[in-house]
Amino acid sequence: MIDVRHLHKAYGPTIAVEDLSFPVGPGQILGLLGPNGAGKTTTMRAVAGVIPPTRGQIIVAGHDVVQAPVAAKQALAYVSDDPKLFEALTVFEHLQFVASAYGVADFAAKAERLLEQFELTEQRNKLAQELSRGMRQKVAVCCAYLHDPRAIVVDEPLTGLDPRGIRTMKQSLRDRAAGGAAVVISSHLLALVEDLCTDLLILHRGRQLFFGGADRAREVFATSGADSSLEEVFFRVTESATEGDGCIPPLSR
């Protein structure tokens, strides 16, 4: 559903992502991990078609993001780490706008279900400028889900959410994957990644250090066996790369 092939992104002399390749299939939830400056956000924005790659190819649901951007974006939803809403629109008007943009025929029924799922029914007529950070996050996710995307890319999905909102968000991502969507999550909350993700992609200074299942990562990098935490694996991988100036060979399945 998502196929990244030799993605390279440079900003002048600065290389943000270097020769990155990975697939994400239907039903998979990929955790995108790495320290600050690893290239996670650049990778997600490139997949979403927000920024063009310097080199390489990105395919979403069979469509090249650069050559067929509209078709690719129709199949994808992207929620950034700080989603921007239209301050003068209400919650429901956001859903109306997105439904119009994506041509969602059965908009009203889907919108009502999403508002109920994310506990936004009572806020449906509030302006975006009146919403808390967590409610804004929920609105952005509802807008992202409205057209039933086949690929979902989410950066820090739990920002601003209360415990109930966290539970709802996590379950919604599981449900979308179970329904056949390919999901990519970037987060510094390793417990979230460990709880949700079927696969991991670990980046460091724009380079791929590991791609594969969480169990495989524990086999390769953990020091205390199969029960090792993702936190232990993460620090082992990234610290090894730092000590070697980022030059450990990339490992995958």
| Beta-carbon-side half-sphere exposure of residue 81 (alpha carbons within 13 Å) | 12
**By the 8 A CB rule, do 39 and 16 touch?**
yes
> Which CATH number belongs to the domain containing residue 146 in this structure?
3.40.50.300
What SS3 state is found at 238? helix
Q: With CA atoms as reference, report the closest residue to 45 among 70, 76, 24, 13.
A: 76
pLDDT single digits (tens) 65-116: 999 999 999 999 999 988 899 999 999 999 999 999 999 988 999 999 999 9
Quick one: pLDDT band at residue 145, thresholds 50, 70, 90? very high
* Domain of residue 210, residue span: 2-252
Question: Averaged over 137-145, what is the pLDDT?
Answer: 97
Question: Averaged over 158-168, what is the pLDDT?
Answer: 94
Q: In sequence order, which residues have a C-beta less than 8 Å from that of residue 10 and are 6 or more positions away?
A: 16, 54
Looking only at the bridges linking them, the beta strands covering 2-11 and 29-33 are: unpaired
* Mean pLDDT of all residues belonging to the chain: 90
pLDDT single digits (tens) 176-214: 999 999 999 999 898 899 899 999 999 999 999 999 988
Angle ∠(196,116,190) on CA atoms, nearest 5: 20
Domains of the chain: total: 1
**By the 8 A CB rule, do 184 and 40 touch?**
no
β-sheet bridge partners, residue 183: 29, 152
Q: With CA atoms as reference, report the closest residue to 96 among 136, 134, 125.
A: 125
CA distance 46 to 44: 5
β-sheet bridge partners, residue 64: 59
Looking only at the bridges linking them, the beta strands covering 29-33 and 199-204 are: parallel
What percent of the chain has a predicted confidence (pLDDT) above 70? 92
User: Which secondary structure element, helix H or strand E, spans residue 155, and what is its range?
Assistant: strand 151-155
What percent of the chain has a predicted confidence (pLDDT) above 90? 76
**By the 8 A CB rule, do 207 and 250 touch?**
yes
Q: With CA atoms as reference, report the closest residue to 4 among 19, 212, 76, 154.
A: 19
